[in-house]
Amino acid sequence: MKIPFNKPWFAGNEIQHIVNAAYSGHISGNGAFTKKCHALFEEKYGLLKCFLTTSCTDAFEMAAMLIDLKPEDEVIMPSFTFVSTANPFILRGAVIRFADSSNNHPNIDVDGIEALITDKTRVLVVVHYAGVAVDMEKVMALSAKYGLFVIEDVAHAIDATYKAKALGSFGHFGAFSFHETKNISTGEGGMLAINDPQFIKRAEIVWEKGTNRAAFFRGEVDKYNWVDVGSSFLPSDIIAGVLYGQMQQIETIQAKRVEIWNRYHAQLKPLADKGLIYLPEIPDFATNNGHMFYLLLKDEEQRNALMDYLNNNNVHAVFHYLPLHKSQFFQGRHDGRQLPNAIRFSETLLRLPFFYELPIGFVDLICSKVYAYFNIKF
Ligand SMILES: *Cc1c(COP(=O)(O)O)cnc(C)c1O
């Protein structure tokens, strides 16, 4: 049997919640489970207002609509990220200026951002890669100095903090993902957290396809009307039931994932001490939320060789993002700047199997195969 890279896990109550939602007579969006999820996230993570969406991509699209992004407006974001971080801005005709990663982490090089800001820059997107916080004090200082809206991509970063405060609660917006590959999953799903009160009223409308349906149901207006742009962002309450079931077990899920991460790290550290591999470092201001475990190899050739070796030995290990500035779609639009760190992480990063039900014995087995590749006794 090959050890899979990822395996979704239901915590226990999801099925019952699906059944309850199905029999409640309200299975479209914004039902009882959606409201429970909103309240839970707002309270647990100090988010001002939450809106479940059908994906993190959708959460970004909703944020781009709320910011009222115009063609020619500029958006700064890391090149080393998923396409969903970028696509919603392209759809609005905005110009993307890709930033490089830091030297020692795939996260955006915060100290390189200021040089990319022009008088057209309106948005700064940061991705907390592998759930490790970007330095949000520096990011929010740039936001204040230049009047930029900050969107945190928290797809990897649920339950992670910066200086003990939850990620997703710093930026004007936080975009969450509940895709199958994330810590908490509904198959497909997402959420937009809004931390700037000026956007909340309009968010309710954009979320409901540009109508004032929410105000109508509260009895504030007597007609339900088309009042603004919007789209179909609401997930079914069945999906929200799954999310609520997952969130009821978040402490258990997180504890297990962090245990797996720590085991990988402890077992592989001797190889790092010998200089054969490089392991991720977590800065003092960040926490580890057990999103993924990756190691870095000295070059692309060795990364591919180890990846092939593991895959031939029943371990599904995978690389990660191809830098967006080099993509087929974007390379002709890129301004030509070299982004060497993004390329290096793309070429040398290898992710190992990581999921809730991965037995610790399998972590040891996987690590033993990494040792075997280097001809070192485990
Ligand atoms: C998964 C992911 C997304 C997209 O999430 P969806 O819910 O699939 O739209 C966006 N950004 C990052 C960094 C991701 O890993």
Q: Which amino acid is located at 297 in the chain?
A: L
Q: Contact 287/161 with Cβ under 8 angstroms?
A: yes
- Look at residue 84 and tell me whether its pLDDT is greater than 90: yes
Q: Whole-model pTM?
A: 0.97
Structure tokens at 288: 């580890």
Q: Contact 321/81 with Cβ under 8 angstroms?
A: yes
Structure tokens at 201: 């009223």
pLDDT for 190: 98
The best mutation among 58, 176, 179 to test binding of ligand 1, ranked by most ligand atoms within 8 Å of the C-beta, falls on: 179
Q: Contact 353/366 with Cβ under 8 angstroms?
A: yes
**Ligand 1 atom having least distance to the Cα of 178:** 7
CA atoms within 13 A on the CB side of 57: 12
The best mutation among 84, 107, 349 to test binding of ligand 1, ranked by most ligand atoms within 8 Å of the C-beta, falls on: 84
Q: Can you tell me the distance from the alpha carbon of 1 to that of 189, in angstroms, rounded to the nearest whole number?
A: 30
What is the distance in A from the centroid of ligand 1 to the CA of 24? Answer: 31
Q: Which amino acid is located at 87 in the chain?
A: N
Q: pLDDT tens, 19-29?
A: 999 999 999 99
User: Is the beta carbon of 125 within 6 A of some atom in ligand 1?
Assistant: no
Quick one: how far is CA 334 from the chain centroid?
24
Q: pLDDT tens, 112-141?
A: 999 999 999 999 999 999 999 999 999 999
- Look at residue 11 and tell me whether its pLDDT is greater than 90: no
User: Is the beta carbon of 261 within 6 A of some atom in ligand 1?
Assistant: no
pLDDT for 203: 97
The residue with tokens 């090959």 is: 2
Q: Can you tell me the distance from the alpha carbon of 297 to that of 147, in angstroms, rounded to the nearest whole number?
A: 39
Geometric angle at alpha carbon 31, from 27 and 37, rounded to 5°: 120
Q: pLDDT tens, 228-253?
A: 999 999 999 999 999 999 999 999 99
Structure tokens at 50: 């939450």
pLDDT for 217: 87
User: Is the beta carbon of 156 within 6 A of some atom in ligand 1?
Assistant: yes
Mean pLDDT for all residues in the chain: 97
What is the distance in A from the centroid of ligand 1 to the CA of 75? Answer: 18
Q: Can you tell me the distance from the alpha carbon of 16 to that of 62, in angstroms, rounded to the nearest whole number?
A: 31
Taking CA atoms, 201 is separated from 121, 133, 214, in Å, by: 25, 29, 10
The whole-number average pLDDT for the span 188-208 is 97
User: Is the beta carbon of 324 within 6 A of some atom in ligand 1?
Assistant: no
Geometric angle at alpha carbon 156, from 263 and 233, rounded to 5°: 150
Strand order in the sheet with 49-53: 49-53, 190-194, 173-177, 149-153, 121-127, 74-78, 95-99
Q: pLDDT tens, 260-297?
A: 999 999 999 999 999 999 999 899 999 999 999 999 99
Structure tokens at 330: 């974007």
Quick one: how far is CA 102 from the chain centroid?
18
Q: What percent of the chain has pLDDT over 90?
A: 96
Q: Contact 5/211 with Cβ under 8 angstroms?
A: no
Q: What is the CA radius of gyration of the chain?
A: 21
Q: Which amino acid is located at 231 in the chain?
A: S
Q: How confident is the model at residue 157 (pLDDT cuts 50, 70, 90)?
A: very high
pLDDT for 147: 98
The sign one gets for the Cα dihedral 257, 261, 262, 266 is positive
Q: pLDDT tens, 300-313?
A: 999 999 999 999 99
Q: Parallel, antiparallel, or unpaired: how do β-strands 161-162 and 95-99 relate?
A: unpaired
Q: How confident is the model at residue 365 (pLDDT cuts 50, 70, 90)?
A: very high
Q: Can you tell me the distance from the alpha carbon of 54 to that of 187, in angstroms, rounded to the nearest whole number?
A: 10
Indicate which residue's Cα is closest to atom 1 of ligand 1.
155
Q: Contact 354/6 with Cβ under 8 angstroms?
A: yes
> Which residues sit opposite 52 in a β-bridge?
191
- Look at residue 343 and tell me whether its pLDDT is greater than 90: yes
Q: Can you tell me the distance from the alpha carbon of 307 to that of 312, in angstroms, rounded to the nearest whole number?
A: 9
User: Is the beta carbon of 321 within 6 A of some atom in ligand 1?
Assistant: no
Domains with residue ranges and CATH for the chain: 14-247 (3.40.640.10), 251-373 (3.90.1150.10)
What H or E segment, with its residue span, contains residue 204? helix 200-207
Q: How many CB atoms lie within 10 A of CB 275?
A: 8
